[in-house]
Structure 1
Amino acid sequence: MKTQRFQKNQISNAADLLKAGELVAFPTETVYGLGADAMNEKAVQQVYLAKGRPSDNPLIVHIAEKKELNDLVEEVPTIAQQLMNCFWPGPLTLIFNAKEGVFAPTVTAGLTSVAIRMPNNSATLELIKKANTPLVGPSANTSGRPSPTTSEHVYHDLNGKIAGILEDGQTGLGLESTVLDITNPEQPMILRPGGITKEEIEKVIGSISIDQHLVGEKETPKAPGMKYTHYSPAEPVIIVDGDNPKWQEAINHYLALGEKVGLLANEERISYFQNQVSAVFSLGEKTNIKDASHYLYAGLRFFENTDATVILAEAYPSNDFGEAYMNRLEKSAGKKYF
């Protein structure tokens, strides 16, 4: 299969492929998604095959207009209306009770709930409208690898496996959406931190809880990222949480083991240690967690084209947007700290 690359003036061509049951990757404000008609079971099954994704891992559905929800879910509770008014289009995924028989069965992985969001990208919103159907949109990468923040990342992982890629440069946020379960509107719960923080949500609907446990082997997760290894590059990732003496100790340790060290850290840290290591990738200014989040996946992928054999990665405080950053970093590292 030849993977075509479409520009924004070719959205109709990309939509035609989706209508024909093919897979097309699309840009969002978070990461690139792998699109397929959410009503077409054969197309959705191809998403799992292309990614190598476990079939009990449900998919997020992307829509272009809020009014579409009325045909897709059992109820749109008041808190959903409040949240959509504030954050849609944007990086917030809401889990609703799905209407029976609407979606292709594989979309929900056998659950009675469905995860839905409206992405904040004009090209993709137009793509959904022209395809005239909601689209599933898991990250457009090989399952388990760092999510793609450029079309080149998508092409690297999925060339020859999907019909097309709608290109729109580098994504803005660089981390996936926040997933909020509102199937019980009285007890809303974050299942995956992301582009909208807990604090931002609580300003709209009041106190909420967070559930980031990894579900059991026989349990079907309600949201992506709750069961399997995610975001991992080819090289092992070790998290370093501390000041420069701690970093020096870590660098010395791995150099003594014969490793070639890659440094994924803030600009100040890199300027201090860059002459001691094999490769570096900057996460931006020391105090800017949004920059660090934006660059995280690109940084994890960067070292695959260097001779680094281990990546030492910077920890950030797990508050506000740092919660999403650390969620992804810990999963990429298997929670391994130096």
Structure 2
Amino acid sequence: MKQIKTRHLHPNDTGLATAAALLNAGALVAFPTETVYGLGADARNGQAVAGIYAAKGRPSFNPLIVHVPDVDAAQALVQWSDTADRLASVFWPGALTLVLPLAPGHGLSSLVTAGLETVAVRVPHHPTAQALLRAANMPVAAPSANVSGRISPTTAAHVLDGLSGRIAAVLDDGPCPVGVESTILSLAGTPTLLRPGGLPVEAIEAALNGPVSHHAGDAITAPGQLASHYAPGATVRLNATEAAEGEVMLGFGPVTGDLTLSASGDLVEAAAALFDSLHQLDRMGKPIAVAPIPNTGLGAAINDRLNRAAAPR
């Protein structure tokens, strides 16, 4: 694709106004959320949304999350429900994406939903994301701001490493505090976990007073379900207790390494460090061994990302 100059914007009044104007003009702007940096475009503008797929090299059958500033804006796009209301009252704004049936007259580009009759929608908590959404005054489609299938970005530098020259601007507000993508829950029927993420499923089940189903099958019904995803250039070996010859090691808890997600075994700290650690190790140009991670709480999201990073490509 044609190279353009990517602007590096700061989260002040001038930077936010510039970013909002670019979105309204149909351009692509990367911006921080509490989870990862998103690559935003006007979700109503098919040409702008097509630009996301082109910039990322993303398959067009992989749907996008629409970001809005509040529940009222979400209700304009989807068929709301009592269950959605209960979860939104507890977890929005925050790291939960809800998949709901499209509302009549939603106005979204069909590219956003990849032709599905549902859409994934989220109200982010990050103050800069909130300020941008309100300034732009539109639903913003925004997958992670990285080349498709590669490591997700948790800093503006990560965004520029992969997308500089492909997007109009990045709005830089430092590292993302959560560090893994949002949890995706389908409410188009029985509540079903489609992707573990920054909100532990245990918290959702507590809010619903019961268990949620887990997605089964190969059909792509939400972002982040490709078998190979979040991957570094190097190969990844999981559940390693030490590095083999020629490998670099990503440690956790008592298993030390060249880098460590959390020496104390803190899963919140590990989630925040995951993608930046993979970026750093990938630059070393060697295969990556990863220590075992408990599969509870945020560990489920970390292991989901690591399993996809290690999947055959």
TM-score bucket of the superposed structures, by smaller chain: over 0.9
Q: Does the 8 A contact of 2:205 with 2:212 survive in 1?
A: no
Q: Which residue of 2 aligns with 1:188?
A: 191
**TM-score, normalised to structure 2's length?**
0.94
1:283 equivalent in alignment to 2:287: no
The CA deviation at 1:335 is: 8.1
Between the aligned partners of 2:104 and 2:259, the Cα distance in structure 1 is 47
The CA deviation at 1:171 is: 0.2
Q: Does the 8 A contact of 2:68 with 2:122 survive in 1?
A: yes
SS in 1 for 2:180: coil
Between the aligned partners of 1:44 and 1:335, the Cα distance in structure 2 is 29
Q: Which residue of 2 aligns with 1:306?
A: 284
Q: Which residue of 1 aligns with 2:306?
A: 329
Q: Which residue of 1 aligns with 2:247?
A: 261
**Distance of aligned partners of 1:213 and 1:300 in 2 relative to their CA distance in 1, 3 Å threshold:** farther
Q: State the Cα RMSD in Å.
A: 1.6
Write out aligned runs for 1:193-272 (5 A).
193-213=196-216, 215=218, 219=219, 221-240=220-239, 247-248=241-242, 251=243, 254-255=244-245, 260-266=246-252, 268-270=254-256
The CA deviation at 1:124 is: 1.2
5+ residue gaps, structure 1, are 242-246, 275-279
Q: Which residue of 2 aligns with 1:65?
A: 70
What do the CA deviations read for 1:181-235 (whole angstroms, capped 9, x no partner)? 0012xx10110011111110111112233434451xxx4x111122341011011
**TM-score, normalised to structure 1's length?**
0.87
Q: Does the 8 A contact of 1:285 with 1:291 survive in 2?
A: no
Q: Which residue of 2 aligns with 1:131?
A: 136
Q: Which residue of 1 aligns with 2:163?
A: 158
Q: Bigger shift: 295-304 or 221-230?
A: 221-230
What do the CA deviations read for 1:150-181 (whole angstroms, capped 9, x no partner)? 00000000000000001110000100000000
What do the CA deviations read for 1:266-315 (whole angstroms, capped 9, x no partner)? 26432xxx6xxxxx1121224211111111111111123224x2111012
The CA deviation at 1:316 is: 1.1
Q: Which residue of 2 aligns with 1:294?
A: 272
The structure where helix makes up a greater share of residues is 1
Between the aligned partners of 1:161 and 1:335, the Cα distance in structure 2 is 27
1:80 equivalent in alignment to 2:84: yes
The CA deviation at 1:100 is: 4.1
Q: Which runs of 4+ in 1 moved over 4 A?
A: none
Q: Match of 2:144, as an amino acid?
A: S
Between the aligned partners of 1:82 and 1:208, the Cα distance in structure 2 is 15
**Distance of aligned partners of 1:27 and 1:154 in 2 relative to their CA distance in 1, 3 Å threshold:** same
Between the aligned partners of 1:287 and 1:267, the Cα distance in structure 2 is 4
Between the aligned partners of 1:14 and 1:25, the Cα distance in structure 2 is 9
Larger radius of gyration: 1
Q: Does the 8 A contact of 2:198 with 2:301 survive in 1?
A: yes
Between the aligned partners of 2:83 and 2:74, the Cα distance in structure 1 is 14
Aligned residue pair count: 307
Between the aligned partners of 2:213 and 2:141, the Cα distance in structure 1 is 24
